[in-house]
A and B are shown apart, each in its own frame.
Chain A
């Protein structure tokens, strides 16, 4: 039941803070309320900062999955403005 399309997927491995959050934020802003975005983040700093800021912006983190290379896949639903 994965509704994520190609356009709603961001691979931010190797992208540093705060640009990883900026990319995520811009992408979410393009999307309509309720749509979901899949983001892949490095462990460490990225995982400390991005989820927190995404949540503070009013979006919803639906799931967090660890990938084999120790990065994380987050499913984010766009919140209301």
Chain B
């Protein structure tokens, strides 16, 4: 259920339109909202808006209650962190929408729109987290949720660190936390713990001090976390941005396009990217296909450069993120097949 949308067929559309007039529902809201047609006649799955997968106990109680009264007493947890209530008859949409309002809740979006953003726990309670993914996710949801793209769906996700549990690589736009370490030489005891802990082999000892290889570092911050005397410290913190990923029949891995963005730069990047996609996209293609068609350079030129952030321009700079033998390596900016 979670990755299939827009199954509203013509006959059903007319029926819904009539029904929505009778129930005084906004038909457009119905279409854009998270009411997803099931195989069973007249039954829908109601997808609830859960940015970052965070749901208060109040909301959870209400979802359970709605599932019991209007569904079959069960919910489904979607791969994009939504609570979904299956087996709901469309006649109950109105009542459900009203009840959701009492806890300041609503249904999620479907169709060619900005979807509810997803996020891991980030630094709020995950020890690996480098940035506050949850706050960012809530804000992005507040600002951009449901905006029509004119072409296809648009998914945004946030991961707190390079482990990337929230698969920023598979999103139309993905953001991942990064930190830049800096050595305070006077404090360093030369214990080599940081060197041992750097899984990317970006650190080596030169004399009694660790030295970082800037071509290998992926900004995970492990060296900062391990240093017993706080000689390795955070110099700066921000977001690595990826664009053009998707799953589906022909999945694409996103390209890293900018690094160390501030929250504000990330918002600007989202806005600029949506604008670019709206004007450059064709038909029902995802932004990954638009980029494959026009070339990544054009996207970077038109979207990243004007932002003034730190652009990631070459495949060499991206290499550090790829595993050997990954299909990433096959992509020089051109898709080899229809997307």
Q: A residues near B, CB below 8 A?
A: 43, 47-48, 51-52, 55-56, 60-64, 66
A-contact 0/1 string along B186-201, CB 8 Å cutoff: 0001011100110000
Decide: A51 near B193, CB < 8 A? Known: A56-B127, A56-B225. yes
Contact of B225 among A52, A61, A63 (CB under 8 A): A52
> What chain B residues lie within 8 Å of A47 (beta carbons)?
193, 196-197
> What chain B residues lie within 8 Å of A63 (beta carbons)?
189, 191
CB within 8 Å of A: which B189-233 residues: 189, 191-193, 196-197, 222, 225-226, 228-229
Q: B residues near A, CB below 8 A?
A: 127, 189, 191-193, 196-197, 222, 225-226, 228-229
- Are A64 and B193 in contact (CB-based, < 8 A)? yes
Nearest CB to that of A54 among chain B residues? B228
- Are A52 and B226 in contact (CB-based, < 8 A)? yes
**Closest Cβ–Cβ distance, residue A54 to chain B (whole Å):** 9
> Tally of A-B residue pairs with Cβ under 8 A?
31
> What chain A residues lie within 8 Å of B189 (beta carbons)?
63-64
Nearest CB to that of B229 among chain A residues? A61
> What chain A residues lie within 8 Å of B222 (beta carbons)?
52
> What chain B residues lie within 8 Å of A61 (beta carbons)?
193, 228-229
> What chain A residues lie within 8 Å of B127 (beta carbons)?
56
**Closest Cβ–Cβ distance, residue B56 to chain A (whole Å):** 28
> What chain B residues lie within 8 Å of A56 (beta carbons)?
127, 225
- Are A55 and B197 in contact (CB-based, < 8 A)? no
B222, B226, B228: most-surrounded residue (chain A CB, <10 A): B228
> Could you write out 18 A-B pairs with CB less than 8 Å apart?
A47-B196, A47-B197, A52-B197, A52-B222, A52-B226, A55-B225, A55-B226, A55-B228, A56-B225, A61-B228, A62-B228, A63-B189, A63-B191, A64-B189, A64-B191, A64-B192, A64-B193, A64-B228
